[in-house]
Amino acid sequence: MKASSQITMESNSPNARREGWKPIFRKIYRQRYLQVMALLGIAWMIVFNYIPMYGIIIAFKEYDIISTISEAPWVGLDHFKEFLQDDALIEVIRNTLGISLIKLIVGFPLPIIFALLLNEVRSVFFKKSVQTITYLPHFLSWVVLGGILATWLSDVGVINKILLAMNVIDAPISYLAEAKYFWTIIIASDIWKELGWSAIIYLAAISGVSPELYEAATIDGAGRFQKILNITLPSIMGTISILFILAVGGVLNSNFDQILVLRNQLNASASNVIDIYVYQTGLNEGRYSYSTAVGLLKNVIALTLLIGANSVTKKLNNTSLF
């Protein structure tokens, strides 16, 4: 007992604690250049992501641009109540959830399927060519792609010419001028832009699967489809789960840049999503407190969805973000 007490006292002594910190300090010194780079990133996040969060309090105040945040009078939850009673609420929620859920249901599995199919291609040249072609649109901004799509979808655009030549339509259609086509255009163009880029993550995960598993399956007589179902998919399920959690957390984000570029007054009934609503009420109408309240409410709901999706995936396959 005395010996164990002596060992405990020695381990808790200041000298012992200093000795325990030495390996950590030596490791930090060896990685000093990487640590400096990391500290710069942390500083950037603090300055541009965390310090501006102080401005969230204007959601509970009646702020105007000629006074400071501290001078603005408190109004409590009035802005939140006003949004929930707004006539545009149903339209905004319908458009936001409609576009985002369809993107999630259709757009999320497509990169997985594309990566699985591309992984089965044996020609390296063909595989690299397809990859390059499919992820190239990712590097173009929506300002550029929006202009291209507006040209393609105009009355004299290439889409109308192809459909007229195939006798699918009898007269040219101005697609961006009709609200009924807007969701389809948004979802299809988003998939076109991000399909190849999203598949890169899954291809990287697939490359980490042990070849011995495939060799053993070949010996057992398994075909390609059976290997995909029983080896590839289970092996990348962790990656799929993490990306699914992030996708659910961002379900209320309808890609502001894309919709802002492609929307107009003629398709406003189908393009008025939460982000556009916040932009119009905040910057165009100068209702800064109200738009902040709407954005804060959206982020709280998104956080709730993220935590819920994280809990579900953790119970299903023991994979989670936290």
Which pLDDT value is given to residue 17?
A: 63
Would you say residue 59 has pLDDT above 60? yes
Q: What are 133-169's pLDDT values in tens digits?
A: 998 999 999 999 999 999 999 988 999 999 999 988 8
Q: What is the Cα–Cα distance from 175 to 152, expressed in whole angstroms? A: 10
Q: What are 257-309's pLDDT values in tens digits?
A: 999 999 999 999 999 999 999 999 998 888 999 999 999 999 999 999 999 99
Instruction: Work out the number of other CB atoms within 10 angstroms of the CB of residue 243.
Output: 17
Would you say residue 193 has pLDDT above 90? yes
Would you say residue 322 has pLDDT above 90? no
Would you say residue 83 has pLDDT above 90? yes
pLDDT band at 13 (very low <50, low <70, confident <90, very high): low
pLDDT band at 18 (very low <50, low <70, confident <90, very high): low
Residue listed under structure tokens 């060896």? 30
Q: What is the Cα–Cα distance from 245 to 304, expressed in whole angstroms? A: 11
Q: What is the mean pLDDT of the chain?
A: 89
In which residue ranges of the chain is CATH 1.10.3720.10 found? 77-317
Would you say residue 1 has pLDDT above 80? no
Domain at 77-317, CATH homologous superfamily: MetI-like (1.10.3720.10)
Would you say residue 235 has pLDDT above 70? yes
Which pLDDT value is given to residue 9?
A: 47
Which pLDDT value is given to residue 3?
A: 47
Q: What share of the chain is helix, strand, coil (3-state, %, to 5)?
A: 75, 0, 20
Would you say residue 12 has pLDDT above 80? no
Which pLDDT value is given to residue 2?
A: 47
Please return the burial class of 130, using the count of CB atoms within 10 Å of its CB with bins 0-12, 13-18 and 19+: middle
- Lowest-confidence region among 63-67, 158-162, 225-229: 63-67
